[in-house]
C-alpha cells in the first residue's frame, strides 16, 4: 500500500484549491479525501476536525493576501499606494473566490491572534502615512478603507452590482478617486 504523503500543509493547499472551485462552505473533509484517493478517516491524523481544516485555509488565505499587499505597497505612496492595495484585494477575490471567502472566516480568538490580520492593519496604516492624518482619525480611516474594500468586493462577487450600468470597473476607479480625495481632505472633528 503506497502512502499518500498527507501533511497538514498539503491538505490545506488542496483545501484552498477546492474552495476556489466549489466555494468555501462546500469544502468538505470527504471531498478532500476523495481528491487524495484516501479514506476519510485518514485525514484525521493530520487535521483535528473539519473546523480545523477551514481555519487552516483561512490562515493560508490571510497570509497570501498579506504577502501580495506587502509586495504591492513596496515603493509606492499616496494614491498610487491606495490603488495598488485596493486592487490586491479585488484581484485576489476574483482569482481566488474561495480563499477570499475563507479570509473572511470567523476565526477563534487564538487563531486570530496568530493570523496575518495584524499585518493587514499595519499595511493600511503604512499607506495612510502618505496622507496627513493623526490619531484617532488614522484609525477611523483604517476602518473605513477596510470597510470599503471588503464591502465592495463582497457585493461585487455576490452579484450585487451585476445587472446595471455603468460597469463595475468604472465605479471602482471612481470610488478610489473619491477615497483619495476624502483622505486628502479629511473633515475635522465637529
Partner DNA sequence: GCGTTTGCCTAAATGTCTTAGGCACATGCA
Partner DNA sequence: TGCATGTGCCTAAGACATTTAGGCAAACGC
Tell me which residues touch its own copies (CB under 8 A). 25, 104, 106, 112, 117, 136-137, 139-140, 143-144, 146-152, 154-155, 158-161, 164-166, 168, 170-171, 174-175, 177-178, 180-182, 185-187, 189-190
| Ramachandran sector of residue 91 (left: φ over 0; alpha: ψ -120 to 50; beta: rest) | alpha
Q: Which does 154 bind (CB under 5 to 8 A by kind): DNA, its own copies, none?
A: its own copies
Contact 10, 53 (CB under 8 A): no
Compute the least distance from the CB of residue 55 to its own copies, in Å. 14
Q: Which residues contact 188 (CB under 8 A, 6 or more apart)?
A: none
Which position among 8, 13, 50, 175 is part of the footprint of DNA (CB under 7 A)? 50
CB nearer to its own copies: give 33 or 107: 107
Query: Which listed range, 30-38, 71-79, 93-101, 144-152, lies at the site for DNA (CB under 7 A)?
Result: 30-38
CA distance 167 to 124: 27
112 binds, options DNA, its own copies, none, Cβ within 5 to 8 A by partner type: its own copies
CB distance 66 to 120 below 8 Å: yes
Q: Is the peptide bond before 35 cis (omega within 30 degrees of 0)?
A: no
Give the binding range for DNA (CB under 7 A) out of 41-49, 64-72, 96-104, 165-173.
Answer: 41-49
Which of 142, 113, 116, 8 lies closest to 61 in space, CA to CA? Answer: 116
Amino acid at each position: 500500500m503506497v502512502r499518500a504523503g498527507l501533511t497538514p500543509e498539503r491538505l490545506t493547499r488542496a483545501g484552498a484549491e477546492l474552495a476556489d472551485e466549489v466555494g468555501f462552505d462546500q469544502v468538505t473533509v470527504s471531498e478532500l479525501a476523495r481528491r487524495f484517493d484516501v479514506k476519510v478517516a485518514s485525514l484525521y491524523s493530520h487535521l483535528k476536525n473539519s473546523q480545523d481544516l477551514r481555519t487552516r485555509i483561512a490562515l493560508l488565505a490571510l497570509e497570501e493576501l498579506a504577502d501580495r499587499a506587502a509586495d504591492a505597497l513596496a515603493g509606492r505612496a499616496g494614491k498610487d499606494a491606495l490603488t495598488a492595495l485596493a486592487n490586491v484585494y479585488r484581484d485576489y477575490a476574483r482569482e481566488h473566490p474561495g480563499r477570499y471567502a475563507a479570509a473572511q472566516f470567523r476565526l477563534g480568538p487564538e487563531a486570530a491572534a496568530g493570523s496575518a490580520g495584524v499585518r493587514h492593519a499595519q499595511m493600511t496604516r503604512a499607506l495612510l502615512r502618505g496622507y496627513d492624518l493623526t490619531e484617532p482619525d488614522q484609525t477611523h480611516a483604517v476602518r473605513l478603507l477596510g470597510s470599503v474594500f471588503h464591502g465592495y468586493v463582497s457585493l461585487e462577487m455576490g452579484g450585487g452590482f451585476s445587472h446595471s450600468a455603468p460597469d463595475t470597473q468604472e465605479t471602482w476607479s471612481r470610488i478610489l478617486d473619491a477615497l483619495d480625495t476624502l483622505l486628502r481632505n479629511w473633515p475635522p472633528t465637529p
